[in-house]
């Protein structure tokens, strides 16, 4: 019988110490081993290098770090990153891996202080090494370990001497572990988390189990601390509470409970004769009560995101600064929960979640998704030979992290199918920690889980689950059990590219149904890797940019934070959607409904500031003097706050402008100018839609075949060729957009994707046929048809030009679809390309809903006002270029063109029989075709024109790239549309 090399073994780590908690604050000495380590990469696991070889003449790589990313981003000397989502980049042949197996030999000198030889043990701790590694000290091989995102401790006492010692670590890229670490991320290897040399004193504390519950009926904290090894002389103290106890002893005291809203922590000091450690306890109790997930007796609603560890230059070797930046950005954007998809994070991240207040679903380092493509044949999750290894993984996670109050649930892994090892892992977790619910989305029947969890269902299905009306399971007992469980969306709203749309469809249900415990948007960060073109142009790479044999392209660019950490419009929308004070148009006209979404906190820290906004200007303002108790809802009426002033105020405004009532919850300690999405909540209601301006009565002057309509010149075919001092490159009706990732990918629930349907309908290649140009009662009326090559569906168009005065013209575009159309259309509107050498610099002053981009199903963050951008600043540079930058509800825009300003004012805008307050404006320095063809933002080059879209309607965003497409209420349909615009120079 042949034996496999150890990196292909199914054994749990060997030569390692028992798993214990993550480095707490201790007075035991320890030395960080971060820095440059000597390194050499070999093509196979059998490197032939003696562990006693110090590698004197090798190069170096930073530790922590991935060897593929060591060096300058355009010249990585040790391989390259590779991205696959589901696919294994090696033959599926568990537990064997190919001979070609990049293997890193690491070396460094470790200095053991003299004093450490007088007693105690010397221990090496690795927080994370990807994927399999062997540790040798002074030429002696001591241990083999794995579990890339889990800690390993190796007792090296007997192999070291005081002074300098040679540490050798051999790390293979592929191993048996690869089969259980198939998460959707870059394949990156090496010692990517901290390494520390510890002195473990005699009589020290190996492990602490901290139970810090909160009894919401008495207001008491309940504390019990167990110490390993068990010692009667250990002492536990909570100085702030004056508590002293022995290990195993339960004590109670009145406390301030811990929650994400108010993350109160208490130092817990544990002493033995040899060591003092300090942990930070938060008193809180997680429980499922009557099918509702609760924290400290109140329903626990998770307004979460999925977070992979990622930084564009460092991969998963994230710094403490990045971790803090993530936590603070989450808090700022009203995220209250994180699922650590799909592995335990760096332990410091959990310290930060404790301290700043984020609920955590801590997920085991397990994913075997690539087996799904094989019908789950030989899936490790269902193979008893893998049980010890998988149980070892959850054990190490729970032992490492259980002292964190932030952790509210354990997750057994992600997309690893089902099988006998799920039961074994769940049992192991419950034995170690019976206080937290167990989560595993793969366990659809919830035989082993405590919560019912799903990814990417439609909101219609969630609505059924919310009311306990989901489809029954075949097994009646399991069905009854699952129906009594809280429901979690472990992933929803896929933030790939421009999106997600449709958050409110889910969040309104969560607000109204206690069974729904909320969910986690996919995902926090866009994993673009910082790299350069051969010409030195920097950009963020995705799958396929690094010569991968197999890859999943742009699917890795699906985060709420763009790779340079710019919050995407999706994150601003999420902040508005998750805001603790929900402000919505009320059921009656002129009313707003306010809801305090905090579970434990009143709105006393918020001012409820309202403004009446007419034509983008504040014409009245005030404050609603109310404090909402946790979970309270109230309705406020404009008539109550303004009394009889309302009619006078409305009468004093231009009737062709929109009037909005906007209410914002602003932290008392912040200025009123805090951006809306960073306040505590905001919303608005339209008080008066804009009226169409009176019909223009001026006349048309025709000279030499050119008709002059105010400042607009039309050629003999009715095409505008000049507007004031600016030449027109193109003007016609449009129905297409550069597809978003959500347009490009077919949704889970539709037979064909939107972009494909539009392509088939010819919308990306429209041509115009002119039927007639006529002078009718002082107006020029152009009748035409716009349609795509190779199809017979098209739009009948009637364009009417009227002169208002010498500098002003009115345009009315009326569209009627004819022929067989797909169910949706990208947009219905007018495309105008103006010759403009520096189009990106053109300033746009506009009135509408802003300041940032918004779409029909992503518009909570856009509030009425007056805004200013350059055309460049209107662009969102998604990692994969696509439709972006639309501004909605635009009633006026002044474009400061080189040839003089051009003011566009919306008149009547109508979609089918629905009047729309304002148009949708998009302005770019390149065409939609160029945008659609670009693979990376740096490929987009201004083409000398300013490309403007003035739309009556544009399709929403949805989440089709993973999940449902655009909901019916946000879909643009092929229907009649009318767009009236006044152009003034
Ligand atoms: C889910 C998976 C995630 C990610 C997402 C798509 O199925 O759990 O890891 O792949 O799809 O981006």
Q: What is the pLDDT of residues 580-597, one digit of tens each?
A: 999 999 999 999 999 999
Instruction: Give how many domains the chain has, as a whole number.
Output: 5
525 lines ligand 1 (CB under 6 A): no
**Together in a domain, 567 and 449:** yes
Handedness of CA 328, 334, 338, 341 (dihedral sign): negative
Pick the residue with more confidence: 379 or 698?
Answer: 379
Show the domain range for 756.
701-984
Confidence of residue 671 (pLDDT cuts 50, 70, 90): confident
Whether ligand 1 lies within 6 angstroms of the CB of 962 is answered as: yes
Number of the ligand 1 atom closest to the C-alpha atom of 962? 6
Q: Are residues 192 and 214 in the same domain?
A: no
| DSSP, res 381 | G
Please write down the HEC assignment for all residues of 231-296: CCCCEEEEHHHCEEECCCCCEEEECCCECCCCECCEEEEEECCCCEEEEEECCCCEEEECCEEEEC
Range with the lowest mean pLDDT among 678-682, 708-712, 896-900?
A: 678-682
Structure token pair of residue 803: 């002169």
Please tell me the distance from the alpha carbon of residue 16 to that of residue 204, in angstroms, as a whole number: 18
Q: Which residue has the tokens 């355009």?
A: 74
Query: Do 173 and 313 reside in the same domain of the chain?
Result: no
Q: Which of 458, 402, 403 is nearest to 430 (CA)?
A: 402
Q: What percent of the chain is modeled with pLDDT above 90?
A: 96
Residue of the nearest CA to atom 3 in ligand 1?
184
Give the position of tokens 């404790």: 354
Three-state DSSP string of 20-34: CCCCCEECCCEEECC
pLDDT tens for each residue of 542-578: 999 999 999 999 999 999 999 999 999 999 999 999 9
Residue 486 lies in a domain: yes
Cβ(49)–Cβ(105) below 8 Å: yes
Two tokens, residue 620:
């009245």
Same domain? For 677 and 740 the reply is: no
How would residue 806 be classed by pLDDT, with cut points 50, 70 and 90? Answer: very high
Beta strands 251-254 and 220-228: pairing type?
Answer: antiparallel
Average pLDDT of the chain?
A: 96
Cα separation of 555 and 85, whole Å? 8
Residue nearest to atom 10 of ligand 1 (CA): 184
Q: Determine the distance separating the centroid of ligand 1 and the alpha carbon of 361, expressed in angstroms.
A: 16
Q: Are 462 and 489 in contact (CB under 8 A)?
A: yes
CATH of the domain at 434: 3.20.20.80
Instruction: Give which of 771, 909, 764 is closest to 822, Cα–Cα.
Output: 764
The mean pLDDT value for 850-873 works out to: 97
In a domain, 163, yes or no: yes
Q: Report whether residue 558 contacts ligand 1, using a CB cutoff of 6 Å.
A: yes
Ligand 1 centroid vs 546 CA: distance in angstroms? 21
Q: How far is the CA of 847 from the centre of ligand 1 (A)?
A: 39
Tell me the CA–centroid distance for residue 495 and ligand 1, in Å: 11
Say if residues 255 and 283 touch (Cβ distance below 8 Å).
yes
Q: How far lies 409's CA from each of 14, 488, 973, in Å?
A: 29, 11, 43
Mutation choice for ligand 1 from 340, 522, 553, CB with most ligand atoms inside 8 A: 522
Pocket of ligand 1, candidates 491, 492, 556: which has the most ligand atoms within 8 Å of its Cβ, to mutate? 491
DSSP type of residue 730: E
Other CB atoms within 10 Å distance of the CB of residue 17 = 18
What is the position in ligand 1's atom list of the atom closest to the CA of 496?
12
Q: Which helix (H) or strand (E) holds 350?
A: helix 347-356
| 662/555 same-domain check | no
- Residue 568's closest CA among 557, 582, 583, 584? 557
- Whether the per-residue pLDDT at 2 is higher than 60: the answer is no
Q: Are 366 and 179 in contact (CB under 8 A)?
A: no
Two tokens, residue 399: 């032992």
Q: Where are the alpha helices (DSSP H) in 402-451?
A: 420-432
Could you tell me if the CB of 741 is within 6 A of ligand 1?
no
What is residue 643's predicted lDDT score, i.e. its pLDDT? Answer: 86
Regarding whether 809 and 922 lie in a shared domain, the answer is yes
Tokens of 211: 């139970």
Give yes or no: residues 90 and 229 share one domain.
no
Among protein residues, the one with the nearest Cα to ligand 1's atom 2 is 184
C-alpha of residue 184 to centroid of ligand 1, in Å: 6
Q: At 754, is the secondary structure helix, strand, or coil?
A: helix
End position of a domain, from candidates 575, 590, 611: 575
Q: Identify the CATH number of the domain in which residue 95 sits.
A: 2.60.120.260
- Between CA 331 and CA 618 the distance in angstroms is 30
pLDDT tens-digit map of 11-31: 999 999 999 999 679 999 999
The reply to whether 1 falls in a domain is no
Rounded to the nearest 10 degrees, what angle do helices 503-512 and 459-466 cross at?
A: 10
Asked if residue 526 has its Cβ within 6 Å of ligand 1, the reply is: no
CA-only gyration radius of the chain, Å: 31
Task: Compute the distance from residue 85 Cα to the ligand 1 centre, in Å.
Answer: 8
Catalytic site positions:
415, 491
Angle at which helix 503-512 crosses helix 569-578, to 10 degrees, equals 20
Nearest residue CA, atom 9 of ligand 1? 184
Atom of ligand 1 nearest to the CA of 85: 10
CB of 522 within 6 A of ligand 1: the answer is: yes
Query: Sign of the C-alpha dihedral, residues 385, 389, 391, 394?
Result: negative
Task: Show the tokens assigned to 936.
Answer: 């990376």
Q: Is residue 423 classed as helix, strand or coil in its secondary structure?
A: helix
Whether residue 744 contacts residue 753, with contact meaning beta carbons closer than 8 Å, is answered with: yes
Q: Please, what sign has the CA dihedral across residues 838, 839, 844, 850?
A: negative
For residues 410 and 436, give the distance between their C-alpha atoms in angstroms, rounded to a whole number: 7
pTM exceeds 0.95, yes or no: yes
CATH of the domain at 782: 2.70.98.10
Q: How does pLDDT run across 320-377, given as a tens digit for each residue? A: 999 999 999 999 999 999 999 999 999 999 999 999 999 999 999 999 999 999 999 9
What is the C-alpha separation between 646 and 611, in angstroms, rounded?
12
Q: Does some domain include residue 293?
A: no
Residue 598 belongs to a domain with what CATH number? 2.60.40.10
* Cα separation, 799 vs 462, whole angstroms: 45
My answer on whether 708 and 846 are in the same domain is yes
CB atoms under 10 Å from CB of 103, counted, come to 24
User: Does pLDDT of 677 surpass 70?
Assistant: no
Determine the Cα–Cα distance for residues 182 and 178; give it in Å rounded to an integer: 6
Partnered with residue 953 across adjacent β-strands are 828
Provide, rounded to the nearest whole percent, the portion of the chain with pLDDT above 70. Answer: 99
Task: Read off the pLDDT band of 672 (50, 70, 90).
Answer: low
Residue 938 CB neighbour total at 10 angstroms:
16
CA of 522 to the centre of ligand 1 (A): 7
Q: Give domain status of residue 695, yes or no.
A: no
- Same domain, yes or no, for 351 and 241? no
Q: Which conformational region is residue 821 in: left (phi greater than 0), alpha (psi within -120 to 50 degrees), or beta?
A: beta
Task: Specify whether 147 is located in the same domain as 216.
Answer: no
- Among 286, 307, 334, where does a domain finish? 286
pLDDT value, residue 72 = 86
- Half-sphere exposure (Cβ direction) of 529: Cα atoms closer than 13 Å: 31
Residues 486 and 602 in one domain: no
Ligand 1 binding pocket includes 455 (Cβ within 6 Å): yes
* Among protein residues, the one whose CA lies closest to atom 11 of ligand 1: 962
In a domain, 291, yes or no: no
Protein residue whose Cα sits closest to atom 12 of ligand 1: 555
Q: Kindly report, residue by residue over 42-83, the tens digit of the pLDDT.
A: 999 999 999 999 999 999 999 999 999 999 887 899 999 999
According to the model, what pLDDT value does residue 1 have? Answer: 45
Task: Give residue 142's pLDDT.
Answer: 98
504/561 same-domain check:
yes
pLDDT tens per residue, range 238-253: 999 999 999 999 999 9
| 693 domain-assigned | no
Could you say which DSSP state residue 230 is in? -
Is 740 part of any domain? yes
Which among 184, 411, 741 is the best mutation to test ligand 1's pocket, defined by most ligand atoms within 8 Å of the CB? 184
Centre of ligand 1 from the C-alpha of residue 935, in Å: 22
| Contact 491 CB / ligand 1 (< 6 Å) | yes
Mutate to test the pocket of ligand 1, among 367, 414, 415 (most ligand atoms within 8 A of CB): 415
Rounded distance from Cα 751 to ligand 1 centre (Å):
21
Ligand 1 atom closest to the Cα of residue 342 is 9
Which of 575, 609, 633 is the last residue before a domain boundary?
575
Query: For ligand 1, what atom is nearest to the CA of residue 555?
Result: 12
């Amino acid at each position: 019988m042949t034996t496999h090399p150890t990196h292909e073994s199914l054994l749990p780590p060997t030569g390692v110490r028992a798993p214990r908690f993550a480095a707490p604050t201790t007075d035991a000495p320890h030395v960080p081993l971060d820095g440059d380590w000597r390194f050499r990469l070999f093509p196979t696991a059998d490197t032939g290098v003696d562990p006693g070889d110090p590698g004197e003449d090798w190069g170096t790589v930073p530790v922590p770090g991935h060897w593929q990313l060591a060096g300058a981003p355009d010249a990585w000397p040790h391989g390259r990153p590779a991205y696959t989502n589901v696919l294994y980049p090696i033959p599926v042949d568990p537990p064997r891996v190919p001979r070609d197996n990049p293997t890193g030999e690491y070396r460094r000198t470790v200095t053991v202080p003299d004093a450490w030889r007088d007693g105690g043990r010397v221990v090496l701790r690795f927080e994370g090494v990807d994927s399999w590694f062997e540790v040798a000290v002074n030429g002696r091989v001591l241990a083999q370990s794995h579990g890339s995102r889990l800690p390993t401790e190796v007792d090296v006492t007997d192999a070291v001497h005081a002074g300098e010692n040679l540490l050798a670590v051999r790390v293979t890229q592929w191993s048996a572990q690869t089969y259980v670490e198939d998460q959707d991320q870059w394949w990156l290897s090496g010692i990517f988390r901290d390494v520390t040399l510890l002195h473990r004193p005699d009589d020290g504390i190996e492990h602490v189990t901290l139970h810090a519950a909160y009894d919401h009926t008495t207001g008491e904290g309940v504390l019990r601390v167990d110490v390993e090894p068990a010692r009667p002389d250990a002492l536990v103290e909570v100085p702030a509470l004056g508590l002293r106890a022995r290990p195993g002893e339960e004590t109670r005291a009145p406390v301030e409970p811990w929650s994400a809203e108010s993350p109160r922590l208490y130092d817990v000091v544990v002493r033995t004769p040899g060591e003092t450690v300090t942990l930070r306890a938060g008193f809180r109790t997680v429980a499922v009560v009557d099918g509702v997930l609760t924290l400290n007796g109140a329903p626990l609603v998770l307004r979460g995101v999925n977070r992979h560890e990622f930084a564009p230059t460092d991969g998963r070797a994230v710094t403490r600064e990045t971790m803090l930046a993530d936590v603070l950005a989450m808090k700022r954007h009203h995220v209250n929960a994180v699922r650590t998809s799909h592995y335990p994070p760096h332990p410091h991240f959990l310290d930060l979640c404790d301290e700043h207040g984020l609920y955590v679903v801590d997920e085991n380092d397990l994913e075997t998704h690539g087996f799904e493509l094989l019908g789950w044949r030989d899936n490790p999750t269902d193979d008893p030979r893998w049980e010890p290894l998988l149980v070892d993984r959850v054990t190490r996670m729970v032992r490492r992290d259980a002292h964190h109050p932030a952790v509210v649930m354990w997750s057994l892994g992600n997309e690893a199918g089902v099988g006998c090892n799920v039961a074994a892992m769940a049992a192991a977790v419950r034995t170690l920690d019976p206080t937290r619910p167990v989560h595993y989305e793969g366990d659809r029947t919830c035989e082993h889980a405590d919560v019912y969890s799903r990814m990417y269902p439609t909101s219609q299905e969630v609505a059924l689950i919310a009311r306990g009306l989901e489809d029954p399971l075949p097994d009646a007992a399991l069905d009854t059990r699952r129906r009594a469980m809280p429901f979690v969306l472990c992933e929803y709203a896929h933030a790939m590219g421009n999106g997600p749309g449709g958050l409110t469809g889910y969040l309104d249900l969560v607000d109204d149904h206690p069974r729904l415990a909320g969910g986690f948007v996919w995902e926090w960060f866009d994993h673009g890797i910082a790299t350069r073109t051969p010409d030195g142009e920097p950009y963020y790479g995705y799958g396929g940019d690094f010569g991968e044999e197999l890859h999943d392209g742009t699917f890795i660019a699906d985060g709420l934070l763009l790779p340079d950490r710019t919050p995407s419009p999706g994150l601003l929308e999420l902040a508005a959607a998750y805001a603790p004070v929900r402000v919505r148009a009320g059921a009656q006209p002129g009313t707003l409904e306010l809801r305090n979404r905090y579970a434990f906190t009143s709105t006393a820290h918020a001012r409820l500031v309202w403004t009446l906004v007419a034509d983008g200007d504040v014409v009245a303002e005030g404050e609603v003097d109310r404090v909402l108790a946790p979970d309270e809802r109230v309705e406020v009426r404009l008539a109550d706050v303004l009394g009889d002033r309302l009619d006078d105020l409305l009468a004093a405004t231009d009737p062709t402008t929109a009037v909005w009532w906007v209410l914002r919850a602003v932290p008392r300690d912040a200025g009123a100018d805090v951006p809306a999405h960073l306040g505590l909540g905001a919303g608005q209601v339209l008080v008066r839609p804009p009226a169409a301006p009176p019909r223009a009565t001026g006349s048309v002057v025709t000279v030499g075949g050119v008709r002059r309509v105010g400042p607009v010149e039309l050629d003999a075919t009715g095409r505008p060729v000049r507007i004031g001092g600016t030449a027109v490159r193109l003007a016609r009706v449009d129905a297409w957009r550069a597809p978003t990732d959500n347009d490009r990918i077919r949704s889970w629930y539709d037979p064909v994707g939107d972009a494909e349907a539009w392509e088939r309908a010819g919308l990306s290649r429209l041509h115009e046929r002119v039927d007639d140009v006529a002078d009718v009662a002082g107006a020029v009326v152009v009748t035409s048809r716009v349609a795509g090559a190779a199809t017979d569906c098209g739009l009948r168009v009637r364009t009417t030009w009227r002169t208002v005065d010498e500098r002003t013209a009115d345009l009315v575009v009326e569209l009627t679809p004819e022929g067989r159309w797909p169910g949706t259309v990208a947009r219905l509107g007018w495309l105008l390309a103006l010759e403009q050498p520096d189009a990106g610099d053109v300033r746009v002053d506009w009135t509408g809903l802003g300041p940032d981009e918004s779409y029909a199903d992503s518009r909570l963050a856009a509030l009425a006002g007056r805004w200013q951008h350059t055309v460049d600043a209107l662009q969102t540079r998604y990692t994969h270029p696509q439709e972006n930058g639309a501004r909605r509800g635009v009633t006026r825009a002044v474009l400061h063109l080189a040839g003089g300003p051009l003011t566009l004012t919306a008149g009547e805008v109508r979609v089918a029989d629905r009047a729309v307050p304002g148009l949708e404006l998009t302005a770019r320095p390149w065409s939609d075709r160029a945008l659609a063809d670009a693979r990376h933002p740096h490929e987009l080059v201004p083409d000398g024109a300013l490309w403007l879209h003035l739309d009556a309607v544009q399709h929403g965003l949805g989440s089709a790239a993973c999940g449902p497409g655009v909901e019916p209420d946000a879909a643009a349909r092929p229907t009649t549309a009318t767009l009236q615009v006044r152009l003034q120079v």
